[in-house]
Amino acid sequence: MSNLPAPRTVEVVGGAPAPEPARPRVLLVGTALASGASFMVFAGMVGIYLSVRSSVIAGGDSWLPAGAELPLTPANMGLFTLLMAAVTMQWAVDAMGKSDRPHAYLALGTTLLLGVSHVVMMAYYYTQMNLVLNGESSTQAVLIYSITGLHLAMVVAALVFISLMAFRALGGQLTGRDREGVASAAMFWHVTIAVYTVVWYSIFIVK
Amino acid sequence: MTVTETAPTTTDPAVGSPPDPESTVGGFAMLVGSGDHKTIGRLYMVTALLSLIATGVSGVLLGAERIDLGTSDNIIATDTFTQVFSLHSVGGIFLFLMPLAIGLALLIVPLQVGASTVAFPRAAAASFWTFLVSAGLVEASFVINGGPGGGNSDGVELFLVAMIVLIASHLMATVCIVTTVMTLRAPGMSLHRVPLFSWSNLVAGAMWLLTLPVLVGILVILFVDYRYFRDFTGGNTGIYARVAWVFGQPSIYLFAIPVLGFVGDVIPTFSGIRHLRHRVAMAAIGGFGILSLGAWAQLGFTIDFTSTPGTPFVDEGPWIAFGLLALVPLLVLLALWAGTMSRGKVKVAPPLTYGLGAGVVLFVGVAIGAVIPVDQLELVGTSASTAQAHAVIVAAVLALFGGLTYWSSKILGTSMASAPSNLIATVLTLGALVLVVPDLVAGALGPDDLDVIEMLNLVSLVGGVLVALGALGFATIFLVAAADKVPAETDPWEGHTLEWITDSPPTVGNFAEVPEITSEAPLYDLRHLEATS
């Protein structure tokens, strides 16, 4: 057995209870760490993309081979869709904080709808790019499909996260005093959008 | 009324209550369904120790292969050399070292910070089972002639996918550990009062979360490339070259950060006094962690990749600076540890032997890392890099084995034998030095000194065998202690940190109550409170 003395105790004057410890924001911190790690995945991939692109251009070639296209309109639409979804997600967090459940549900549903729209838009984009994995543009295709495909996976993961928190909100587990779940989903969603902004600029704008 | 000032932070209703024997599920169902951080930690440790077999055998084979440099195909066929080499390095880091470190952290960190559980216990459990499956697939990929450099395309693809999942599982466990330190500390335990082992896991976890995702991204690109075109991968020859930066300077230090925390915990305990300048030690561990960030020091992805490219970063300032500067925080820590020991009354015990061995071997590894960038020595790309990696990894192994010995009462509920543990720690330390120093010297020699290099390789092999024997000996006494029926004391070492007030092994909820925390050594405070009163 331990040879330690008993833990020190404190006499509380007037019978008042000891102050409650600050509630740990476990999910928020965990989500922040996971979001940071996710961001680093894309930081590395985009770095490789830009490095390879610059080496090709330095060799006197154009980055995109003849026939390959990266049309700007669907990429812009994808970005604006996600930016709208960022606003609706923050609306959900705000509504949840005010215990305004109808608006919170509406905002979460709208966010999910916009997120799915983005996935559909990117799927359509793939049919427009004319980048083939086993042809002349394979190097570019490998990088672009890897980065954008993994980002789509991140969008889907974020949508699953938001859906879970929406179901928890519907089940009454999240309240105005405890909106950590929705706030965490919002954080991951915003990081997902930030990553797309980097991808959008690095791949679709810079070309 | 009188209340305990420091109630546990978490709202887990199981805190402090003993497990209900009626509701306890035993056997395999208990293992699969458990979200208890102690069970998950033990599962990680056992799996990691089993993985050591493949790593150790491949390492000894590689060492034997180098004895005769004049001919190839001595023991390992030329076309399988890359596979054996990558099995040794990938297996050593991702199947053995990281899982062992994660397992120890999952078990000990919540106890040290006074938490009733780890953050996200179900995620921690999921991380273990994901690790188990993906580790099995990584090993299987080598068996079917896959892995990097493998001849079976399906095996190579399996390796790449399994590695992505494996690293993701490690990152998931890391999030649990880091979140535990950040959010589930007992009241009164501000961040600067966190024990050094937990602090080092916080630093290591943060650095892993910043670095290893970059490797995941690279593996995704390599998988898509290998499956569809094989431009970057150069067939199968370029895969290992693309991921080898993790095993080189400075990223290799990522896996040694917990060493610093372990040594920082055992030295004050066995010196009987507080750690000298705890906050400076925390800053030094943080600095060492920052200097281990090395995802930038990797080969560039080039078009028409057909052979192993050079190392474009080695002439760059940051690479040279990181190599030299990593020595600074380590020297600060060594000075603090020497000061702590000189002011205290040192009791020699196995954890201290392991800790001192780990400190010495890590210093050798970091010192080698500091001289490698010196241009005139021409050590880049030679066996000096192997020496550095081996030193850092064996230092981590020493610390982890020391951790398992130090906390065996919490892990197993029994104590590990002292005399054999001291012997094993000594053998591992000497083996590490005999393994490393000849490789460093061989790295400085030129191609005209083949005979000398072969002799040095033989000496290095002897060191490798000593390390393997030490690891085997450790596994043996660990198993013996696991089978032992004599329960360990709650606090066999008179430790300073909170894990030593829990039962051995700790029950569900870990703590009945947590004492008032006013410093980084709450149990040391309690003892002195008693002594002065």
* Mean model confidence pLDDT for chain B: 87
Q: Is the pLDDT of residue B509 over 70?
A: yes
Residues B515/B523, Cβ–Cβ less than 8 Å: yes
Determine the length of chain B: 533
Q: Which residues of A touch B303 (CB under 8 A)?
A: 52, 55-56, 59, 139
Chain A contact set for B218 (CB, 8 A): 44-45, 48
Q: What is the mean pLDDT of chain A?
A: 86
What pLDDT sits at residue B10? 41
- pLDDT recorded at residue B26: 66
Nearest to residue B32, comparing CAs of B109, B132, B105, B150? B132
Selecting from A24, A40, A133 the residue whose C-beta is nearest the C-beta of B213 gives A40
Residues in chain B with CB shorter than 8 Å from the CB of A59 are 303
Alpha-helical segments (H) within B445-497: 450-483
CA B237 to chain centre: 28
Instruction: Report the alpha-carbon distance of residue B123 to residue B126 in Å, rounded.
Output: 5
Mean pLDDT by 10 residues, chain A (207 residues): 47 43 78 97 93 85 83 93 97 92 94 96 89 71 93 97 91 77 95 96 90
Q: Do B214 and A145 touch (CB under 8 A)?
A: no
Residues of B in contact with A3 (CB under 8 A): 491, 494
Helix pair A101-129, A180-199: axis angle to 10 deg: 20
User: Among the listed ranges B4-8, B191-195, B396-400, which one has the minimum average pLDDT value?
Assistant: B4-8
Give me the amino acid identity at A94: D
State which residue of chain A sits closest to B168, comparing Cα positions.
A37
pLDDT attached to residue A6: 52
Tell me the CB-side half-sphere exposure of residue B247, using CA atoms within 13 A.
24
pLDDT digits (tens, 9 = 90+) for B398-433: 999 999 999 999 999 999 988 999 999 999 999 999
The neighbour count for residue A97, using CB atoms within 10 Å, is: 16
Contacts of B513 in chain A (CB under 8 A): 7
Rounded CA gap, B164 and B171, in Å?
11
Question: Is the CB of residue B529 less than 8 Å from the CB of residue A7?
Answer: no
Cα B323 versus chain centre, distance: 20
Instruction: Tally Cβ neighbours within 10 Å of residue B416.
Output: 25
Q: Which residue has the higher pLDDT, B384 or B17?
A: B384
* Predicted confidence (pLDDT) at residue B38 exceeds the cutoff of 80: yes
In angstroms, the Cα distances linking B6 to A2, B113, B181, B376 are 19, 13, 17, 59
Q: Are A139 and A59 in contact (CB under 8 A)?
A: no
Residues whose CB is less than 8 angstroms from the CB of residue A70 and which lie 6 or more positions away in sequence, other chains included: A64, A129, A144, A203, A204, A207
Q: How close is the nearest chain A Cα to the Cα of B95, in Å?
A: 21
* Amino acid A23: pLDDT: 54
Identify which has the larger pLDDT, B8 or B57.
B57
CB B116 within 8 A of CB B511: yes
- The secondary structure of residue B50, as a DSSP letter, is H
Whether B228 sits inside 8 A of A5 (CB atoms) is no
Preceding omega of B258 cis (within 30 degrees of 0):
no
Give the chain B residue whose CA is nearest to the CA of A46.
B217
Q: Is some CB atom of chain B closer than 8 A to the CB atom of A18?
A: yes
- Chain B interface includes A132 (CB < 8 A): no
Report, as an integer, the average pLDDT of B139-152.
89
Q: List domains and CATH numbers for chain A.
A: 67-205 (1.20.120.80)
Q: Letter for the amino acid at B73? A: D
* Torsions phi, psi for B347 (to 5 deg): -110, 120
Is residue B75 exposed (0-12), middle (13-18) or buried (19+ Cβ within 10 Å)? Answer: middle
A155-166 in b/e form (b: 16+ CB < 10 A) is beebbebbeebb
Q: In angstroms, what separates the C-alpha of A181 from chain B's closest C-alpha?
A: 13
B194: left (phi over 0), alpha (psi -120 to 50) or beta: beta
Residue B217 has pLDDT above 60, yes or no: yes
Cα dihedral across residues B473, B474, B478, B484: positive or negative: positive
Given this model, what pLDDT does residue A135 score? 63
C-alpha of B204 from chain center: 9
A29, A43, A146 member nearest B220 (Cβ): A146
* Predicted TM-score (pTM) of this structure: 0.90
Q: Among A162-176, B236-250, B289-303, B444-458, whose mean pLDDT is lowest?
A: B289-303
CA pair distance B107, B101, nearest whole angstrom: 10
Between residues A24 and B108, the one the model is more confident about = B108
Asked if the Cβ–Cβ distance from A146 to B184 is below 8 Å, we say no
CB contact under 8 A, B9 and A38: no
With beta carbons less than 8 A apart as the criterion, state whether A92 and A186 touch: yes
Minimum Cα–Cα distance from A137: chain B residue: B229
- Closest residue to A12, CB basis, from B1, B7, B494: B1
Looking at this predicted complex, what is its ipTM?
0.89
**Domains, chain B, ordered by start:** 29-300+313-532 (1.20.210.10)
Mutate to test the interface with B, among A11, A20, A29 (most CBs of B within 10 A): A29
Neighbours of B86 (CB within 10 A): 22
Q: Which amino acid is at A91?
A: W
Q: Do A33 and B530 touch (CB under 8 A)?
A: no
Q: Among candidates A85, A93, A82, which has minimal Cα distance to A28?
A: A93
Instruction: Identify which of B1, B213, B494 has the shortest CB distance to residue A44.
Output: B213
CB distance B253 to B259 below 8 Å:
no
Cα distance from N-terminal residue to C-terminal residue, chain A? 69
Query: In Å, what is the CA distance from B41 to each residue of B55, B117, B166?
Result: 21, 12, 17
Looking at beta carbons, which residues of chain A come within 8 Å of B221?
45, 48, 142-143, 146
State the pLDDT confidence band at B111, using cuts at 50, 70 and 90: very high
Q: Can you tell me which residue has the tokens 């470190």?
A: B101
Beta pairing partners, B3: A10
The set of residues, in sequence order, having a beta carbon less than 8 Å from that of B197 and lying 6+ positions away, is B108, B109, B112, B258, B261, B262, B264, B265, B403, B497
Beta-carbon contacts of residue B362 (< 8 Å; ≥ 6 apart)? B256, B259, B260, B330, B391, B392, B395, B396
| Other residues' Cβ atoms within 10 Å of the Cβ of residue B472 | 13
Is omega for the bond preceding B18 within 30 degrees of 0, making it cis?
no
pLDDT for the residue B73: 64
Rounded to a whole number of angstroms, the distance from the CA of B45 to the nearest CA of chain A is 24
Confidence band of B56 (pLDDT split at 50, 70, 90): confident
A150–B217 CB contact, under 8 Å = yes
Query: What backbone phi and psi angles, to 5 degrees, belong to B24?
Result: -75, 125
Write down the pLDDT at residue B13. 38
* B449 phi, psi to nearest 5 deg: -105, 40
d(CA B140, CA A183): 41
pLDDT band (50, 70, 90) for residue B513: confident
